Each structure stands twice: as C-alpha cells, then as structure tokens.
C-alpha cells in the first residue's frame, strides 16, 4: 500500500507542478499567439489545465486498477485532490486576468462563456459551481478505467 501511496503522491505532485506551469503559460500565451493569427480555441487547448487533469485521471485510476491492493476510493481521493488544485489554478487565472485587464485564455475560448458569464467574477463562480458536476463525471470515467484495468489484471494474473 505504501508503494501505491507514494506512486500516487508522485503522480499528483508532478502533475500539480505541471498544471501550475501550464497555468502561467496559459496567462501569457494568448498575447504571443493571437498576433500570429492562431485561433483562440487552438491556443486555449495548447495551454489546457484540463488536459493535465485528464492525464492524471488516466494515470491514477490505471495505477490503482493494476495494483493487487488497488482501491477505487484511494484513486478517487487522489484524483479529487488534483482536480481541486487544477480548478483553483483556473479560478485564480480568471481573477488575475480580471484584475490586470490582460487578454488571456482565461477569458474563455468560446463566445458563449462571455454570454453566460458577463463578468469574470461570474465566470469564476461558474467554475466553482461546475466543478462538482465535472468531478462526478470524471469519477465515473475513472471508475470505468479502474474496473476495466482491474478486470484485465485478473484475467492475465499480472500485478503492478
């Protein structure tokens, strides 16, 4: 169990650091790419904290599913910790963008974001409210990854 714990801890801490780096890049990238004509949606995906989070989802649930003493609950807890961190980075990015008045990818890549959330504060609040729905969906996806991996491990007799 301690090996899994340290493995999950390493995964989460590494991805948390990568997410923080991506968060900073996301803040500045629009100023670099927009003058080159790169579409907002493309630039936004190039510096996506969500992609880092999805990598974490797969790694954490695969790791737990492959382990003989793996646990869905443990995977869910580690993933939730990473998800909270990533959401805090996004919300901070939205609020810093509001405070500085900079043009960043935190303003949302789609016009619908501006229509649904007329102010950056409303946008940040929307992320807070939507977090729980996104977390639940990701935990369901993680459960599927965990179950498939656990089943395959059982059929092959392999271990982590």
Residues of the chain with pLDDT under 70: 1-5, 108-110, 154-160
Mean pLDDT, rounded, of the chain: 90
What is the model's pLDDT at position 132?
95
Q: What is the pLDDT of residue 119?
A: 84
Residue 148 has a pLDDT of 96
Tokens for 145, please give them: 């990854």
Write down the pLDDT at residue 156. 64
Phi-psi region of 104 (alpha: psi -120 to 50; beta: other; left: phi over 0): beta
pLDDT at 105: 87
The residues spanned by each domain of the chain are: 2-156
DSSP-derived secondary structure letter, 68:
T
Enter the pTM of the model: 0.87
Give the model's pLDDT for residue 20. 98
Give residue 109's pLDDT.
64
């Amino acid at each position: 169990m301690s090996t899994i714990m340290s493995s999950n801890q390493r995964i989460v801490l590494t991805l948390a650091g990568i997410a923080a780096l991506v968060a900073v890049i996301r803040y500045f990238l629009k100023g670099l790419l927009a003058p080159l004509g790169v579409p907002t949606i493309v630039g936004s995906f190039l510096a996506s904290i969500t992609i880092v989070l999805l990598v974490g989802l797969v790694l954490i649930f695969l790791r737990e599913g492959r382990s003989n003493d793996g646990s869905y609950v443990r995977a869910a807890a580690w993933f939730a910790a990473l998800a909270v961190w990533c959401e805090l980075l996004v919300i901070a990015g939205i609020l810093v963008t509001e405070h500085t008045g900079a043009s960043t990818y935190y303003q949302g890549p789609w016009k619908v974001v501006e229509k649904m959330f007329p102010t950056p504060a409303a946008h940040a609040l929307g992320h807070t409210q939507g977090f729980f729905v996104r977390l639940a969906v990701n935990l369901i996806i993680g459960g599927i990854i965990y179950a498939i991996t656990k089943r395959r491990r059982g059929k092959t007799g392999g271990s982590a």
